[in-house]
Chain A
Amino acid sequence: MQVFTNSLVLGAEGGFLVGDMLTQLFFFIVLLVLLRMFAWGPLMNMMKEREDYVANEINTAEKSREEAQRMQREASEELKKTRQDAQSIIEDARKTAGQQERDILESARNEAERIKESAREEIGQERDKAIQALKDQVATMSVMIASKVIEKELSEQDQEKLINEYIDEAGEER
């Protein structure tokens, strides 16, 4: 080995030393194993964990965003519905109020009509009654006056006939 390598420029350092090579191989493999066990392993686990964490967080954020959107949509639907309800309630109230107004007016008008009617009837009755009373009185008074005036000239029958004539006339004239 030495003979060969010494003839090359590589021989300047003393050639290939098999012991060095084996030592290097041994050291490197030990270093590789130890670092993998104590440094790279935990580090890569940590990086993996962080990756998972970030991915998880992104997923969660996405989910809560969707949830929020859904809830917002629901809330606006709810609001819309409520608004419609309120609108319809107001509409109903307005309708009912109009109906009631009409009913009240109607009944008031009917009542007035009725009162007017009955008043008219009463007036008519009263008038008839008054006329009747007047008739009776006039008849009585006429009889009294006539009996005073023509007491002596007329018989009972003539008187009666005459009075009735007057009364009838009076009734026709009215």
Chain B
Amino acid sequence: MRELDYVRASDVEEAVALVSGDPDARYLGGGTNLVDHLKLGIARPARLVDVGRLGLDGVEEQDGPDGRVLHVGANVRNSDLAAHPVVRSAFPVLSRALLSGASGQLRHQASTGGNLLQRTRCVYFQDVTTPCNKREPGSGCSAVGGYGRQDAVLGASEHCVATHPSDMAVAMAALDAVVVVRGRQGERRVPVRELHRLPGDRPDLDTTLEHGDLVTGVELPFTDAARCSTYLKVRDRASYAFALVSVAAALELDGDVVRDVRIAWGGVAHKPWRATAAEEALTGRAVDEDAVRAAVDAELAAARTTDQTAYKLPMLRGATTRTLLRLAGKDPS
């Protein structure tokens, strides 16, 4: 590990000034991803600015510009957010997603902001002995033509096929969460769906943030659909594994007919994938197996698979159908 300077920031302004003025500086939150990458030689900052004790650890109902929101501080730990009574009742998809991620120990350590900003990655990104365009731009992609069972099936490029591993971010994409960011120009709000980016020809960039931008919180809009929401994660082990595919869904019905539906997928792309084509196909229709499968197929028209990832498409059809039928109160057949 490279020599490393450590500074504990005393407030948000100081933290932003320290990192934005120094290309070799990085924020340190819970450290579960960054410390691992320091050890592996993937991240090589010269200075860490610890933002773990800046406060930013409250969960509060607030009036936002577009209605009532639950404001979650960036330092709220994943375990505390999952167990928060308002999250459990008004945003169950978020509790479920958080609880399906990592382990009990890691959830105590990982922060809300850090979970969002963990690296999009594949096994080759983690292995510094192999070429990787994300780790070392221009060096090539070892995953294309290599081991690729976890790879993206939507929105990938010839330069990168890695998937974003967060469960929490998938739930937040379905909830239309808004990320509160403090940068050199002051505070701004970024819809979580615009926080992460597709790889294109710059897979080294996971997000649309500028260097020095600090996530200070996340706002979750209260909606009827959010109240009727859940998360289904499909993985190789029953616990403590990344998703092969996952489904975050929220549903508001008007009688039998869909008034509002949000569907986001994990494990399929470089970012949490909001399935807007599927949502449009379902809105105004009754939720039944044929309708959901047709909606999923509308979304998957753009999918590109290999022999190793082809299994993800039927898995998404099954998982999404099961999730929506359950939310609609119909037992999946």
A and B co-occur in one complex: no
Taking beta carbons and an 8 Å cutoff, which residues of B are in contact with A? none
Taking beta carbons and an 8 Å cutoff, which residues of A are in contact with B? none
